[in-house]
Structure 1
Amino acid sequence: MMPHQPSQWICAGRFPPPYDGQSLLTQELLELLSPEFSFIRADATARPPEGRIYAPGRLRLRRIPEMFRYIHHLRWLTTRYPLPILYAIFSGNPLGHIRDCVTFAWAIPRRRPVVVWTHNALLSLHASPLWHRTLHWLTRRATLFVFAGRSLYEPLRDILPEEQIAIIPNLVRRALLCSQTEVERKLAHADVSSRLRLLFVGHMLPEKGGWQLLEAAFLLRRHGVPFQLTYVGGWVTSHDASAFTRRIAELGLSRQIVHHGSIRDPETLRQLYLSHHLFLLPTKHPTEAQPTSILEALNAGCAVIGTPHATLPEIIQPGVNGFLVLQHPREIAEAIAHYWHNPNLWYSHARAARQLFVERFHPDRIRQQWIELLRRVQQSIPELAQVTT
């Protein structure tokens, strides 16, 4: 048996590849918490074909044996090592919820301390007569729940007491961090009045709002607003990709639209944020929590336009660092056009976006919050403190 390291934990989660938001975020947190904490990993990652993503909540037969291997491995780890668990894969969709129930029932000892880090909104499970009871059961099995924003917790007050929750925002990967000098240079040389540079980063799912952006782009061109719209994100199916390409051609937007697909290289993505004026994410995804792409955009001094959904209203301050709109092409287009008609508004919002990131979302701040939280969990259980320190 390998010797216990100081402040050692087990982490159940998803890790790259694929290089999506959740897997990258989990890997980044574990690296960020080193050397104070070390983690033994139980990897639950599904690895789709290159260039594709798996849509959450869809059953695939090949995933069943993968999931059972993951749960069996986690059970082996929890039996072999009496360590606390960071459960970083808690799901907001029914199939993922079934996996969580099986995992807690079979692989996690009843008295083992478990910190659940929720990447998804849990509202749909909570509202379901079928899943409400099992969600309540899971909340009683966990020691603590970590939410990225208070709005994700508020609907769960009837099953989750205040003392069992912590609010810690998501973090931006260090490789994507922009310096203050870089952002100031961007502000000094940006030419918003000649052409707006618009950026969307996220899975190419209909619920994320990428299709509505196409229709908004058509309205912008019709009203004489010059722009370039850049998409970064992978497709669920080749059919979706083909339909999207056809729609671009039908709207006559081939010269204004660029789609990069998924981008693995963080420096390429970082430069895209720095070279664009506005970040757009009109999402209505049912399990949306706190998109890291918006935090990455704030970091690069992008004004942001999003929907009043999930934690976005906790990030986007209308009239200060961006606008909140409905997932409707006309509203999106009008919000974008404000910046072209009033370039000074963009400069003001871009500065406020960067300032908000520095004050609330910088990785140094997030790291300290996590360290304090995990230490508090360890110190609250005497026998655990002896094992992990």
Structure 2
Amino acid sequence: MKKKKVCLIAQFPAPIHGLSKAVETLYNSYLTDEFDFEKVDITSNKKFLKNIIKIWGSKADLFYLTISQTKGGNIRDLIIFKLLRLQKKKCLIHLHGGYYRKLVDNDMGSFQRNLNYKVIKQLDGVIVLSESLKSIFQGMIDDKKIFVIPNCVDDRFLMGDAEFEEKMAVLDKKEVLHVLYLSNFIKTKGYIEVLKMAKLEKERALGGDKKKIHFDFAGKFFEVAEREFFFNYIKQYGLEEFVTYHGIVDGQQKKELLKKCDIFTLLTRYPNEGQPISILESMGNGMVIVTTDHAGIPDIVKDGVNGIMVTTSQQQNIVELYSRLYCDKKTMINNRNTTLQYYVESTYLSNLQRIFNEI
């Protein structure tokens, strides 16, 4: 039987971020046995005209689009929607974030806002990352067309059972616990708060106690000012023995870092946040999670169950946050099992497969 053709209009790596990783997982998956995937990479706006021509000429049965959460990107999306509507093509959108509705209702002029409401209503389906994010599209499209597909952990970055058992076996013997920040270096992602906790750890150690916690950072700097602040802070407070910056990690380096660390911190209030894959990766590798009740995060992390959940206002209380850092096997095992049950690659892909076939 001839395969159904699906055109993936999305951001592909590089750069590497949650959205591009999720799209790459889909494009390179076993679903190619059932579907013929066509790729339209919209990462670079310089290729806009070329991409429009490619979309117009596509013979795909279904168009899958990862939509933007900026006003400029939304104009691009509206043009794509118009092309597909003219050709009476089926279209499914996937929102990898949590800001779209605020963008439409609060940041747009009435003309662009009304266009969005009109277009969304006509779509064949929309995908969000968690139950609480369904509200983004409620009132814009029939609830039956709103699908929930949580993110997943790439199989490459999920430690094996034997590795996890070894991690648990040596936990009680570890003299120094490792706290991980794995995300882009954007102020609202909370990396500054983690730096301040490293400063508190040094102050405690200067009081005569041994060093108990080391802070590992990995990710990309988009602004020179962010990079300068990070390294100047380390130098100013002499945190070189308490902080390590690993750069942008992937492959084996990333796997080893996830395996080594015990506590994951993402004190985010980032406006575009959806459901951070870095949290799921850390859960799958047996870490205690320290995060905020922001965007879709409360759907995957519960205070006292997965780790520590604070409000975006409480995250400013660094002394209390630092004092609450903990690591125990029960939480780590719970996080590992939860990930294996709900957030593995095979579950993510089977959910997409089901929706593709349904539409």
Question: TM-score under structure 2 normalisation?
Answer: 0.90
Deviations along 1:262-305, whole A, 9 cap, x unmatched? 123x2211111110001111111111111111111111011111
1:17: which partner in 2? 14
Out of 23, 32, 35, which is 1:34 matched to?
A: 32
1:353 lines up with 2:353 in the alignment: no
Question: Post-superposition shift, 1:360?
Answer: 1.1
Question: Post-superposition shift, 1:226?
Answer: 2.4
How has the CA–CA distance of structure 1 residues 155 and 372 changed in structure 2, closer, same or farther, with 3 Å as cutoff?
A: closer
Q: What is the percentage of aligned positions where both structures have the same residue?
A: 21
How has the CA–CA distance of structure 1 residues 291 and 200 changed in structure 2, closer, same or farther, with 3 Å as cutoff?
A: same
2:101: which partner in 1? 123
Provide structure 1 residue ranges, at least 5 long, that are not aligned to the other structure: 47-62, 378-389
Deviations along 1:356-387, whole A, 9 cap, x unmatched? 1012112222222111111111xxxxxxxxxx
- Looking at structure 2, the residues matched to 142 and 192 of structure 1 have their Cα atoms a distance apart, in angstroms, of 55
The answer to whether the 8 A contact 2:264-2:290 is kept is yes
Equivalent residue pairs, number: 348
1:326: which partner in 2? 311
SS in structure 1 of the partner of residue 33 of structure 2: coil
1:97 lines up with 2:83 in the alignment: no
- Looking at structure 1, the residues matched to 163 and 138 of structure 2 have their Cα atoms a distance apart, in angstroms, of 42
- Looking at structure 2, the residues matched to 369 and 42 of structure 1 have their Cα atoms a distance apart, in angstroms, of 22
How has the CA–CA distance of structure 1 residues 312 and 192 changed in structure 2, closer, same or farther, with 3 Å as cutoff?
A: farther
- Looking at structure 1, the residues matched to 10 and 88 of structure 2 have their Cα atoms a distance apart, in angstroms, of 20
Out of 247, 257, 274, which is 1:289 matched to?
A: 274
Out of 107, 129, 139, which is 1:158 matched to?
A: 139
The answer to whether the 8 A contact 2:284-2:339 is kept is yes
- Looking at structure 1, the residues matched to 173 and 137 of structure 2 have their Cα atoms a distance apart, in angstroms, of 43
Out of 265, 276, 288, which is 1:280 matched to?
A: 265
How has the CA–CA distance of structure 1 residues 207 and 108 changed in structure 2, closer, same or farther, with 3 Å as cutoff?
A: farther
Pairs within 5 Å for 1:167-206: 167-191=148-172, 194-206=175-187
SS in structure 1 of the partner of residue 8 of structure 2: strand
The answer to whether the 8 A contact 2:218-2:247 is kept is yes
2:345: which partner in 1? 363
Where do 4+ consecutive residues of structure 1 move more than 3 Å? 106-110, 326-340
Question: Post-superposition shift, 1:192?
Answer: 7.4
Question: Post-superposition shift, 1:214?
Answer: 1.0
SS in structure 2 of the partner of residue 268 of structure 1: helix
1:50: which partner in 2? none
How has the CA–CA distance of structure 1 residues 208 and 5 changed in structure 2, closer, same or farther, with 3 Å as cutoff?
A: farther
SS in structure 1 of the partner of residue 28 of structure 2: helix
How has the CA–CA distance of structure 1 residues 228 and 185 changed in structure 2, closer, same or farther, with 3 Å as cutoff?
A: same
2:230: which partner in 1? 244
How has the CA–CA distance of structure 1 residues 84 and 168 changed in structure 2, closer, same or farther, with 3 Å as cutoff?
A: same
SS in structure 1 of the partner of residue 229 of structure 2: helix
Question: Post-superposition shift, 1:221?
Answer: 3.0
The answer to whether the 8 A contact 1:75-1:108 is kept is no
Question: Post-superposition shift, 1:233?
Answer: 0.6
Question: TM-score under structure 1 normalisation?
Answer: 0.83
Question: Post-superposition shift, 1:339?
Answer: 4.3
1:373: which partner in 2? 355
Amino acid at match of 2:38: I
How has the CA–CA distance of structure 1 residues 285 and 329 changed in structure 2, closer, same or farther, with 3 Å as cutoff?
A: closer
The answer to whether the 8 A contact 2:197-2:322 is kept is no
1:146: which partner in 2? 127
- Looking at structure 2, the residues matched to 221 and 127 of structure 1 have their Cα atoms a distance apart, in angstroms, of 46
How has the CA–CA distance of structure 1 residues 82 and 352 changed in structure 2, closer, same or farther, with 3 Å as cutoff?
A: closer
The answer to whether the 8 A contact 2:200-2:322 is kept is no
- Looking at structure 2, the residues matched to 108 and 256 of structure 1 have their Cα atoms a distance apart, in angstroms, of 56
How has the CA–CA distance of structure 1 residues 330 and 218 changed in structure 2, closer, same or farther, with 3 Å as cutoff?
A: farther
How has the CA–CA distance of structure 1 residues 338 and 144 changed in structure 2, closer, same or farther, with 3 Å as cutoff?
A: same
